[in-house]
Amino acid sequence: MDNNVLNDFYDLDRMDLLIRTALRQIDYETVSLHTEEGYGLMYQLLTEWTGLSEYDAELIAIAGQDMIVCTSNEKRIINACESYGIEYTGILGILCCAYERRLIGREEFKGLIDRLFSDECSCHLHPRLKNQIYKQYHLQDV
């Protein structure tokens, strides 16, 4: 998980939600690079994607090596993941998962989405994403 997602949950004052989601829905474990393929992917990322930091490349390489979801809101990380066929999500995906799994109710979900797209948060997401979530989850009615 990239630090920007942690910052977004902090801005939303809902770090507890991230922890509850991870502990209830996922078998959480710490991971690191440990295979030749993982290190090779990291080297390739650093060579081909000059905008990535070492941390970014390591994050993507770990996800690719262990076939787990890379979690970031950073466009350059998302683009690299897409290029290598690595699954990814960001804070919106985590919030949608929490709502779908009934860890948060509809009104709270809408409130968190609204706050995420407000000036209260440091997250910079395109407004069309908010419209897509509103439409998909019928939040305009709340």
* DSSP codes joined into one string, 39-74: HHHHHHHHHH-TT--HHHHHHHHHHHHHT--EE---
pLDDT for res 3: 83
pLDDT for res 124: 80
Residue 28 neighbours by CB distance under 10 Å:
10
pLDDT for res 56: 95
pLDDT for res 21: 56
Pick out the chain residues at pLDDT < 70.
Answer: 19-29, 142
Dist. CA 124–CA 119, nearest whole Å: 9
Instruction: Please give the mean pLDDT across all residues of the chain.
Output: 88
pLDDT for res 10: 87
pTM to 2 decimal places: 0.80
pLDDT for res 48: 96
pLDDT for res 142: 67
